[in-house]
Structure 1
Amino acid sequence: MFGNFIYYIVVLLIYSTWQPMEETGLDIFFSLLTGFCLLAVFAGVTWFSFYRMAEKIHNAGLARIDQRFTSTVTRQSVLAIALFAVDIYGLNLSVMAGRIPLFIHLPTLQALVFLCLFSLHLVIIWFWAYPVYQRIYRSDLSRREYIRSNISFSIPVLLPWLCLSGLLDIINVLPFEQPRQLLSTTWGEIGYFLFFLLAIAILGPALIQKFWRCYPLEPGSDRGRVEAICRRAGVKYANILYWPLFGGSMITAAVMGLVKKFRYILVTRALLQFLSPEEIDSVIAHEIGHIKHRHLLLYLIFFAGYLMLSHAGFDLILPALVYITPLYRIIDYSGMNPADFMAILYSLFLIFSFIIYFRFIFGYFMRNFERQADIYVYSLFESAKSLIKAFEKIALFSAQSPDKPNWHHFSINQRVEYLKKCESDRTWILRHNRKIRKSITLYLAALILSGMLSYSINFGETGQNLTSHLIKVALLKEIDRTPDNYELYGMLGDFYHNRKNYIEAAAAYKNALHLMPDSSKILNNLAWLLVTCEDQELRNPVESLDYAIKAAEIETAPHILDTLAESYFANGNISKAIEAEKNALRLMPADRGYYEKQLKRFQATLGVED
């Protein structure tokens, strides 16, 4: 079930990181028809996979068929993600949908539509998986309830994104400029994200328990035992709820909520039905262990940590990409826009880093936090024998092999064996707690170092120098790849100009003009360089005026007329400079104050001469 969380987040990353720079030329009807055909083929393959499994279910052992069932669901889910990526990257459906006026103003609504498209793929999997699920687990759950339980369990992982993105849409639609300006800054974005992450972590459980259709556990012996254990541990909560997950047929419990006002303890009917009172006590003690060790808060830190580590990781990988020559050959061979190619690389980096991080780092802490919650039982009881019996019953009723681990839990046998170690030697409890403290310390140290590195790269002098070097290398490599592209020489000239490498800038601009003599932008930039640069030997007002006049003949724009005025002024033709600057002002430039200041400077000089 936890795998569905990963699937939805990966799909959200695929959707949100794709920013194509140019049109693909695909027809909307072709894209829609192709997408429908792919969906139909996917449905057929999924049906056939589970049909074959259902036919062979009697000839295979229960544990083996359970493993095949799980692997088939996983394989089809991964295929669903791949088809979704084709819809976004290949068929360009998100770009086409983005032309709809409603989606232009409310992009979150468009994202929800595409998430529903992915959910349709998963519903197809669950629809055809149901008969096999029913026969393996001997469940009387209806197909509709089976699908609904899968959806309701998975969707809340998107709640933080939905609130974060939805409110941002509202802010952008409202006629208030100050909030938009604040959120356009780096620190504004960080503050907004952290605020909402904390707010959802605190308030989210109140929404999720409604979404899961939980309802209060009625007064009686079962509720009384849970309340007694919580009082004994000193844990406060908002309510104890029935958790109707898969009709309440799973033997499980959970706790959610950082603060007591929005903290809920969840139990299923199967848990209360099949476990003895002492076993129920031990399971609740396990959930209390999560609260006592602040695991929910640590999960929040780990989630925020992924964002920091992935950002810092990409800052380090980006420089390496510039030097990987085969990438340029791939771009040439594919005919892709380099910006689109980099957008795909960025998306792939985020997706694979997310999978690796949650599979290995987050998964490591989840497994060990579960073990830490297991051994918390010794804080409330003298023995963990009741918890061991509860695990054995869970293995018996779940039809899953007790030796089957997953990325977020140790196997039942592994958990039982560790508890048996603790039964004979309590120092194993201290060892595990010490292991977790060391692991968290190491993780936080890595997080701090990556944060410092990311800050240095993005805001420090070292980062600025590195960025400048990368831009230069990328431009030179691109020029080698497409030597007839005059715009690249112009960009190289702008780069050198900004770095005050005036000789190299002038050479780059002249190379650009050799390829495109009538580029008003490059003519203007070269004219401005020759009339304003600090290198007196390079200054050439006469040549500058020639370039400026030609640029003004091609395009009449305020900044071009300002360059013309500056060139006239440098050549001593003050009246022409004033005339050109007045013409620039008549074009109503955005930075009117600058042009007025220029005009006053020219007029003051003319007054002195007179």
Structure 2
Amino acid sequence: MFTSTILYLLVAMVLFASWPAGPPIIPLPLAAGLYLAKLFLFFFVCRHLLRRVRSIAGALIYQERLSILALLFYGLDVYLLDLKTQILSLATNLWPTLLDLGGIVFFLLYLFIVWHEVAACQGRLGERPAPKGYVAGQFRLLLPALIPWILVSLLADVLPTLPLPLLKTLSQSPLYELGFFIVFLLIMALFIPPLIRHLWGCRPLPASPLRDMLENFLRRQGLSFRDILVWPIFSGRLYTAGVMGLIGPLRYVLITPGLLSILDDEELLAVMAHEVGHIKRYHLFYYLFFLLIYGLLGYFLLEPAFYALTYWRPVLDYLVSHPQRGEDLLFLGFSLPVLILLVIYFRYIVGFFMRNFEREADLYALLTLGRPDGLIRALEKIGYLAGGIRDLPSWHHFSIRERVEFLEACRHHPDLVQKHHKKVRRSLGIYLLAVMMIIISLRSLPLEKIESGGRARLLLAMVEEKLNSDPQRRPLWYKIMASLYLEIGEELKALETLEEALSLAPEDPEILNNLAWLYLTIKDPQRRNPTRALRLALKAARISPEAYVLDTLALAYFENGDLEKAIATQKKALSLAKKNKEHYRAQLKRFLKAKEKKKGSTPL
């Protein structure tokens, strides 16, 4: 169940982080009142729905459904109540990490209500879990996801402020964020198990014949581990076991007191064999790989996808007509597909592998012990004592009934074991092939062009609005628009815009120069006009004889066949140039070469 909660927490983080802070839509007191009203409404909805539940399994099903409802309520807080803006109005200079953490607290309040009411429901059904203990236990399960996120975010905030030249150089690299994410993820994957051990209050399994039996079994399986720990989550009432840690010296085997109290020796060995199966089949490494792939794809896709929205004309029209909320619409249109892809990737793609990895671990126990009886009995006990959850559906585990039925089928048809392993290998191959195809497709896509074009379209939308709101500076806005049109390759629109600007400011040397340059370099040969370009460039040079203007005039002379004036003017431009001198030298070399070629071809 906590796997689902971590996914919802991740979605909430993306929701809050992707929403921009802007001018508040509603005053802070009204926003606070509406949030409290929603919180009470959510509380009454949870209590009303859980009153109809008649089983522990039903309560757990509703816990997941209400967690999804909590996410929807939280989305309304972020989008409609402008949660980020309201937090910033209370503390303006918050680090991004503290801002995001403050935003997540509001989502956790919804989850606390869900957990409290589920515990109360279980109490009515005879389970009697303490609501405070149940809430605390659920929150502690989230800490291994929350703490790494907080640490990586704080480091990302702090490192750029440190007076270290190497860090500043690295931070300017386009791959800095990606490299930082990968390195930190690998470090956390290696060293977080000892932290989790303390967060969850785990303690070593006391020395006893039981510990000796488990240790000897694990060592016979060739498993390297640091310790076997008792996992007292939910006051020991949870019936589960686990293994964490990629390398032996930092690997721990976990087992709850509840499980120790209900299983006999054969059943405990079967559970241990299942956990060993996860290590032997490299499942923990696959999970890390899945996370890395998502990070890589997200890094390369999200920003271009964001700017790709600006290619949709209705978005730009809305930006122009609603400048105050246009950015919010853009972020909403961007973040919702991202969230949908996030859920699809983890819940359906990674979830598929999680279910089948669990089945592989079951099969390892079957092959190791020679028969499935111990594991089947352990699963049936858990299904019964945990509140009749034998048929409880899950996106990351097959139900206990399905697992038992498959083990029984493998007992009678051993060939199913290899068939399942082949299925997993084939699925991994398809996954890797799909990832490779996506990467190849990304390399073939002009992502930089999409991104730069998207930025230009965003700016165009803003400039179009300025044309109406600030008519006195129309020549300036037309100049900017023309540059943006050129950036996205729309030369004809740039030409029309510059002509409009020239009609409003006929003595502006920059407009004259830019229009002359465009008439000389436009790709459409029918639109080229060297004669008009020369007149415009001469006028610009008389008004402002700067290097870049003389460079345009030299090209105009060249295109009109006057090589001597082109060379003389380019030499003067080079002498005045303070930057980009390589361009001026290259142009001069081009003109001199043309002169030599013309001289060599002149008949005697």
In the alignment, what sits opposite 2:142?
A: 154
Kindly tell me: are residues 171 and 526 of structure 1, through their superposed partners in 2, closer, same or farther at Cα, counting changes over 3 Å? farther
Q: Counterpart of 1:607?
A: none
* 1:6-155 aligned within 5 A: 6-19=7-20, 23-26=22-25, 30=27, 32-53=28-49, 55-56=51-52, 61-62=54-55, 66-67=57-58, 69-95=59-85, 97-98=87-88, 103-104=93-94, 106-136=95-125, 138-139=127-128, 141-155=129-143
Where does the alignment leave 5 or more consecutive residues of structure 2 unmatched? 558-564, 589-604
Matched, 1:537 2:530: yes
Counterpart of 1:154 in structure 2: which amino acid? L
Q: 1:471 to 1:538 in 2, by over 3 A?
A: farther
- Of residues 262-271 and 88-97 in structure 1, the stretch that sits farther from structure 2 once superposed is 88-97
The Cα shift of 1:114 comes to 1.6
Question: Letter of the aligned partner of 1:85 in structure 2?
Answer: G
Relative to structure 1, the CA distance from residue 122 to residue 274 in structure 2 (aligned partners, 3 Å threshold; closer, same or farther) is: same
Bigger CA drift: 146-155 or 110-119? 110-119
Q: Residue 242 of structure 2 is aligned with which of 238, 242, 254?
A: 254
Deviations 1:215-251 (A, max 9, x none): 1111112222221221111001111111111111111
Distance 2:422 2:272 in 1: 24
| Distance apart, 1:138 and its partner CA | 0.9
Is the CA contact (8 Å cut-off) linking 1:496 and 1:504 kept in structure 2?
yes
CA distance in 2, matches of 1:99, 1:369: 47
Decide whether the 8 Å contact of 1:257 with 1:263 is kept in 2.
yes
Q: Does 1:506 pair with 2:495?
A: yes
1:134-170 Cα shifts (integer Å, max 9, x gaps): 233613x422221111111013113332222211111
Q: Structure 1: how far apart are the matches of 2:487 and 2:51?
A: 71
The amino acid of 1:289's aligned partner reads G
CA 1:93–1:566 in 2, change beyond 3 Å: closer, same or farther? farther
Separation of aligned partners in 2, 1:132 and 1:284: 33
TM-superposed deviation, 1:517: 8.2
Q: Are 1:231 and 2:219 an aligned pair?
A: yes
Report what 1:605 is aligned to.
none
1:298 Cα deviation after fit:
0.1
| Change over 3 Å in CA distance of 1:321–1:187 after alignment to 2 | closer
**C-alpha distance in 2, partners of 1:331/1:501?**
20
Question: Which of these residues, 193, 198, 218, is aligned with residue 186 of structure 2?
Answer: 198
Say if 1:103 and 1:216 are closer, same or farther in 2 by CA, change over 3 A. farther
Q: Quote the offset at 1:258 in angstroms.
A: 0.4
Task: Assess, with a 3 A threshold, how the Cα gap between structure 1 residues 26 and 474 changes in structure 2: closer, same or farther.
Answer: closer
Equivalent residue letter for 1:131? A
> SS where residue 530 of structure 2 aligns?
coil
**Equivalent pair of 1:308/1:447 in contact (CA under 8 Å):** no
How far residue 334 of structure 1 moved from its aligned partner, in angstroms, is 6.2
Give yes or no for contact 2:479–2:498 (8 Å, CA) kept in 1: yes
Matched, 1:449 2:441: no
AA matched with 2:418: L
Q: Percent identity?
A: 29
CA shift for structure 1 position 208: 1.3
Does structure 2 retain, via aligned residues, the 8 Å contact 1:388–1:416? yes
| Residue ranges of structure 1 left out of the alignment (5+ in a row) | 553-559, 586-591, 603-610
Q: Is the 8 A contact 1:371 1:415 kept in 2?
A: yes
In structure 2, what is the Cα distance between the partners aligned to 1:282 and 1:12?
38
Query: Aligned partners of 2:321 and 2:428: how far apart in 1?
Result: 46
Alignment of 1:419 with 2:432, yes or no, is no
Q: Per-residue deviation at 1:39? A: 3.3
Cα–Cα, structure 1 residues 525 and 207, in superposed 2: closer, same or farther, change >3 Å?
farther
Task: Name the SS for the 1:374 alignment partner.
Answer: helix
Aligned to 1:606: none
- Indicate conservation of the 8 Å contact 2:537/2:553, yes or no: no
CA gap of 1:174–1:255, structure 2 versus 1, over 3 A, is same
| Structure 1 residues 522 and 138, CA gap change in structure 2 (3 angstroms) | farther
Q: Give TM-score, length-normalised by structure 2.
A: 0.80
Alpha carbons of structure 1 residues 177 and 95: separation in structure 2 relative to 1, 3 Å: farther
User: Residues of 2 paired with 1:255 and 1:131: CA distance?
Assistant: 31
What are the residue-to-residue correspondences of 1:116-515 with 2, within 5 Å?
A: 116-136=105-125, 138-139=127-128, 141-310=129-298, 321=309, 327=315, 338-458=326-446, 463=447, 490=479, 493-495=482-484, 497=486, 505-512=494-501
Structure 1 position 464, deviation (Å): 5.7
Q: Do the aligned partners of 2:50 and 2:117 also contact (CA within 8 Å) in 1?
A: no
Describe the shift of the 1:421–1:55 C-alpha distance in structure 2 as closer, same or farther (beyond 3 A). Answer: closer
Instruction: Tell me which amino acid in the other structure corresponds to 2:121.
Output: V
Deviations 1:245-282 (A, max 9, x none): 11111110010110111111111001110111110110
Q: Residue 310 and residue 193 in structure 1: after superposition, are their counterparts in 2 closer, same or farther (change >3 A)? A: closer
Partner amino acid for 2:107? F
- CA displacement at 1:186 relative to structure 2: 2.7
Q: 1:307 to 1:349 in 2, by over 3 A?
A: farther
Counterpart CA distance in 2 for 1:117 and 1:521 is: 53
Cα distance in 1 for residues equivalent to 2:491 and 2:309:
28
Compared CA separation, residues 361 and 296, structure 1 to 2 (3 A): same
User: In structure 2, do the counterparts of structure 1 residues 521 and 245 end up closer, same or farther at CA, with 3 Å as the change threshold?
Assistant: farther
Aligned residue pairs total 569
How far apart, CA to CA, are the structure 2 residues paired with 1:274 and 1:397? 9
Change (3 A) 1:371 1:319: same
Distance 1:295 1:522, change over 3 A: farther
Between 174-183 and 276-285, report the one with greater CA deviation.
174-183
Alpha carbons of structure 1 residues 178 and 427: separation in structure 2 relative to 1, 3 Å: same
The aligned amino acid for 1:358 is F
- Aligned partners of 1:355, 1:121: CA distance in 2, in Å? 20
Q: Distance in 1 between matches of 2:182 and 2:468?
A: 47
C-alpha deviations, 1:434-487, integer Å up to 9, x for none? 1000011110111111112223325xxxx5666688789999999999996968
Contact 1:531 1:539 survives alignment (8 Å)? no
Once residues 520 and 86 of structure 1 are traced to their aligned partners in structure 2, the CA distance between those partners, rounded to angstroms, is 52
* Match of residue 561 from structure 2: none
SS at 1:403's partner residue?
A: coil
Would you say the 8 A contact 1:243–1:268 is kept in 2?
yes
Q: Return closer, same or farther for 1:117/1:230 CA change in 2, 3 Å cut-off.
A: same
What is the CA-CA distance between 1:16 and the residue it aligns to? 2.1
Range with bigger deviation, 260-269 or 222-231? 222-231
The 3 A distance-change label for structure 1 pair 107 and 409 is: same
Alpha-carbon distance in 2 for matches of 1:594, 1:313: 33
Residue in 1 that maps onto 2:602:
none
Q: Secondary structure at the match of 1:237?
A: coil
Letter in 2 for 1:83: F
Distance 1:473 1:54 in 2: 50
